[in-house]
Every structure is written in structure tokens, then in C-alpha cells.
């Protein structure tokens, strides 16, 4: 690993619509390579293979033959899995609970052998050959201020790899390009970090999080959708059905089985929640957030009053795990009052119950349309900044506050800063 400084610049793609299916197939095959590798490498909790060379030797030929991917993407799939297994083994060594990595979120990893990074487009390998994808560029006169202008277009930063991602809600593709700068002055970095730490005491950045009973389990103010609440409910319902059948059987052995599957399920759901919290904290780290803001728990309970005890447990546990995990990080968890976060337009502030229809938010005043949970998450972050602006002491100790949004930060005066994330 070289330790050249890195920046990641997210770039929205204008994907040719007749190629979208190729990318979805590429993603399926890529994740399949990673999952097969994970199956192979994760043998028992105390015996896992963490050597990339060993994994490639054992798996590459078969995986290459079974998939339509280029050699490079097959290798990338194997390596991605081995890195995750390795991270899992590290956790086990620390005595933390973890389980075999599963790759189910939409992503494909590219490097210079499987992609080219050009001024206004990239070419990317797919199961169906190379595809050219145009960038949606920031406006010309604002570009200098954007990560795209500062890093992607700079001669000093060099695009070395990228992750292709897909937003299922907006149906947009994003390329998160990682750039390296081998000549970046080490002194310079330290100075820069020191300054931002100092500023951090004055001006914090918070990530808003909306929790839900249907759709995505958690949605952040930066537009990240974490886990599926529907999936969690589905798993729980399966357990209930099985329990019901066993209860009807009524034998002693069926009673023991009920106990066993019950405790296996609670292990599984705790693991699942831990992994979702990790995704949330990764996002917080990615956007350099200082605080993670939820709606207060009492509301979470009311909001899901129609939901099951299990769902109430899951949300409380999720927040509890988040609070526990941030203890050794430079982060805090805090809460806002939930009133109207789902009805308020995060764009113009207009609040009306007609703005929200299930998962769709459409502002009756300014016409802003967006996923309703994402809108709520932005309101949660903005509301917290309002508290700080009006003098409430923040847990981070600063006097001003910015909300972390998809491509930058927004302060209470409505000034938007694009940021390198």
C-alpha cells in the first residue's frame, strides 16, 4: 500500500440507456465473484484464508470461465472479498463479533486496466465490452469550487481507481473516482488537517439519519440508503411462520427447535444491525461528519407504533449500537425533535402534509421531488444546525454547524459548499 494522499470525487454519469442492462449484469457477476470468494475463504470463524495470491490461484480459472467479466474484474472481485474477509478476521482477533462478508450492495470496482478516465467521460468494462459513459459536469463557472474542478481536473491529482455505484431511487449511476497525489507535501497535509481540526471546534458537520419501517432501514442526509427494512421484516416473518408450525406440532423436540431458531435469529439480527451501523459510520467518515443525528427515540417508537415489538427493538438497538461504536471515534450522536421532518420541504422549507405520499415527497410549493426518507434525513440535519445556530450547545462544542448533503455542506444561512469527500 502506498500512502499517497487520496481524494474521492463522485461523478454522476449520463449512461447510454441501452447499456444500463450491461452494467447491471456486470455488477451481478462482479458481486457473484466476490461472494463465491467469500464462501471459499471464510471456512470457520477461526480459520479463514486471507491471502489474495492463494485465493486467485484457487479460484481465478473457474470464476473466469463461469463469468463474462474481463480478467481484471474477476481479480478485483476476488480481491475485494479477501480484503473484507481479512478485515473480519481482524475484528475476530479483537474479540468483536462478525460474520462472513456478504456482497449485496450495488458496486463494481475499476482500475486503469478496466477503465479510462477522460476529461468528460469514462470508458468502463462490462460483460458486453467497453462502454463510454459521459460525465454530468458541474457548471463551468462553479467548477473550480467543486471536487471535480479541484482534484479531477487538476494535473497534480491522478485518477487511479473508481467504484461504480447505482442509486436505485433516482436510477442514476455514479462513478466515485479515487485520485492520488504522489507529490503532495506531507507538511502541507498536516497543516491543512490541523486547520480543519481547529475550524472543527467552531463549525461542525452533522449527518442526519432517518429510520424507517418500510423501504430502506436508514437513509442519510447525504442520500445513502442503508439496509432494507422490508428484508428485516421478511426474515422476522419467516421465523414467526416456522415457530407457528412447530408450535402446532407440540412435541418436546419441536419446543427445543423453537428455542434454537429463536436464539439463532437474534444472533443473526444483531449481526445485521451491526453491519448496518458500520455502513452508517463509514458514510459519516466519508463526509467527515462530526455528529450523527437521529430523531429522538420516543418518536421512533411512536412512529412505528403500528409496527411490531421487534421493529421497535431493532431501531432502539441500532441507535444503541451506533452510540456504542462511536465511543472510540471523533464522533457524537445526538437527537432532534421529529415534528414535521417528513412533511417539510428540505429545499424551500414549506411544510404541508400533502407534500408527502408514502415514499414520494413532492413539494406543493416549489415542486421539489425526491425520495421522502431522504428529504426527512436532510431536515433532521438542518434542524440540528438550527438548534446550534440558536445557541444550544452542541456535543461537539462548536457554535456553528453545517448539514452534510449529497455533494457538500449547507449552513444555516443557506450557503452551499461543495466538498471533497
- Of positions 350, 362, 416, 417, contacts Zn ion by CB under 5 A: 350
What is the smallest separation between the CB atom of 185 and Zn ion, expressed in angstroms?
45
Q: Which stretch binds Zn ion (CB under 5 A): 33-41, 129-137, 266-274, 358-366?
A: 358-366
Query: By C-beta, is 241 or 365 nearer to Zn ion?
Result: 365
Residue 366 touches Zn ion, criterion: CB under 5 A = yes
Give min distance, CB of 344 to Zn ion, in A. Answer: 9
By C-beta, is 363 or 388 nearer to Zn ion? 363
Q: Which residue has the cell 444491525?
A: 273
| Binding of residue 364 to Zn ion (CB under 5 A) | no
- Report if residue 184 touches Zn ion, rule: CB under 5 A: no
345 binds Zn ion (CB under 5 A): yes
Based on the shown chain and the rule CB under 5 A, indicate whether residue 137 belongs to the binding site for Zn ion: no
Stretch of 123-131, 141-149, 297-305, 368-376 contacting Zn ion, by CB under 5 A: 368-376
Kindly tell me which residue out of 184, 268, 340, 368 binds Zn ion, with binding defined by CB under 5 A.
368
Beta bridge partners of 400: 203
Distance CA 305, CA 216 (A): 18
Q: Hey, which residues does 42 pair with through a beta bridge?
A: 48
Q: Any contact of residue 31 with Zn ion (CB under 5 A)?
A: no
Give yes or no for residue 19 binding Zn ion (CB under 5 A): no
Using CB under 5 A, which of the segments 137-145, 203-211, 323-331, 360-368 binds Zn ion?
360-368
Judged by CB, which is closer to Zn ion: 184, or 350? 350
* Residue 256 within binding range of Zn ion, rule CB under 5 A: no
**DSSP bridge pairs for 176:** 10, 163
Report whether 13 contacts 175 (CB < 8 A). yes
Question: With CB under 5 A, what is the number of residues at the site for Zn ion?
Answer: 8
Figure out which of the listed residues 297, 347, 362, 420 binds Zn ion, where binding follows CB under 5 A: 347
Check: CB of residue 210 under 8 Å from CB of residue 341: yes
Handedness of CA 266, 268, 274, 277 (dihedral sign): negative
Residue 421 host element (H or E): none
DSSP string, 308-355: -HHHHHHHHHHHHHHHHHGGGTT-EEEEE--TTTTTB-TTT--B-GGG
Listed ranges 122-130, 321-329, 367-375, 387-395: which one lies at the site for Zn ion (CB under 5 A):
367-375
Grid cell, residue 245, equals 408450525
368: phi > 0 → left, psi -120 to 50 → alpha, else beta; which?
A: beta
Helix (H) or strand (E) holding 287: none
Q: Using CB under 5 A, which of the segments 72-80, 96-104, 154-162, 348-356 binds Zn ion?
A: 348-356
Grid coordinates representing 300 are 421512533
Single out the residue of 100, 138, 103, 137 nearest to residue 29, CA to CA: 103
**Closest among 348, 263, 350, 337 to 300, alpha carbons compared:** 337
Q: Does 363 bind Zn ion (CB under 5 A)?
A: yes
Contacting residue, 202, 260, 348, 360, with Zn ion by CB under 5 A: 348
Residues found near Zn ion in the complex (CB under 5 A)? 345, 347-348, 350, 363, 365-366, 368
Amino acid at each position: 500500500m502506498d500512502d499517497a494522499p487520496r481524494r474521492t470525487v463522485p461523478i454522476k454519469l449520463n449512461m447510454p440507456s441501452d447499456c444500463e442492462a450491461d452494467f447491471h449484469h456486470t455488477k451481478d457477476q462482479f458481486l457473484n465473484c466476490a461472494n463465491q470468494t467469500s464462501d471459499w475463504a471464510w471456512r470457520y470463524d477461526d480459520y479463514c484464508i486471507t491471502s489474495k495470491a492463494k485465493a486467485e490461484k484457487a479460484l481465478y480459472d473457474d470464476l473466469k470461465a463461469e463469468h463474462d467479466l474481463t480478467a481484471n474484474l474477476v481479480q478485483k472481485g476476488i480481491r475485494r472479498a479477501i480484503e473484507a474477509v481479512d478485515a473480519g478476521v481482524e475484528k475476530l482477533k479483537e474479540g468483536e463479533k462478525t460474520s462472513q462478508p456478504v456482497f449485496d450492495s450495488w458496486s463494481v470496482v475499476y482500475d486503469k486496466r478496466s477503465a479510462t478516465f477522460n476529461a468528460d467521460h469514462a470508458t468502463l468494462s462490462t460483460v458486453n465490452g467497453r462502454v463510454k459513459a459521459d460525465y454530468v459536469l458541474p457548471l463551468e463557472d462553479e467548477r473550480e469550487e467543486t471536487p471535480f474542478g479541484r482534484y479531477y481536473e487538476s494535473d497534480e491529482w491522478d485518477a487511479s481507481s473508481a467504484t461504480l455505484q447505482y442509486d436505485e431511487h433516482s436510477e442514476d449511476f455514479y462513478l466515485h473516482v479515487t485520485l492520488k497525489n504522489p507529490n503532495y507535501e506531507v507538511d502541507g497535509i498536516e497543516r491543512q488537517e490541523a486547520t480543519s481540526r481547529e475550524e472543527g471546534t467552531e463549525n461542525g458537520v452533522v449527518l442526519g439519519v432517518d429510520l424507517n419501517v418500510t423501504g430502506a432501514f436508514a437513509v442519510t442526509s447525504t442520500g445513502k440508503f442503508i439496509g432494507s427494512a422490508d428484508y428485516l421484516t421478511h426474515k422476522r416473518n419467516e421465523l414467526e411462520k416456522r415457530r407457528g408450525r412447530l408450535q402446532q406440532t407440540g412435541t418436546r423436540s419441536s419446543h427445543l427447535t423453537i428455542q434454537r431458531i429463536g436464539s439463532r435469529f437474534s444472533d443473526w439480527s444483531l449481526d445485521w444491525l451491526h453491519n448496518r451501523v458500520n455502513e452508517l459510520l463509514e458514510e459519516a467518515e466519508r463526509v467527515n461528519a462530526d455528529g450523527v443525528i437521529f430523531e429522538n427515540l420516543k418518536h421512533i417508537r411512536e412512529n412505528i407504533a403500528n409496527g411490531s415489538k421487534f421493529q421497535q427493538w431493532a431501531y432502539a438497538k441500532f441507535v444503541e449500537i451506533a452510540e456504542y461504536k462511536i465511543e472510540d471515534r471523533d464522533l457524537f450522536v445526538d437527537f432532534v425533535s421529529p415534528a414535521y421532518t417528513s412533511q417539510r420541504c428540505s429545499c424551500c422549507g414549506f411544510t404541508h402534509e400533502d407534500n408527502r405520499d408514502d415514499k414520494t415527497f413532492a413539494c406543493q410549493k416549489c415542486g421539489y421531488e425526491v425520495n421522502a426518507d431522504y428529504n426527512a434525513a436532510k431536515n433532521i440535519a438542518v434542524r440540528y444546525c438550527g438548534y446550534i445556530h440558536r445557541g444550544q450547545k452542541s456535543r461537539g462544542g462548536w457554535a456553528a454547524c453545517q448539514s452534510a448533503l449529497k455533494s457538500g455542506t449547507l449552513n444555516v444561512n443557506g450557503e452551499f459548499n461543495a466538498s471533497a469527500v
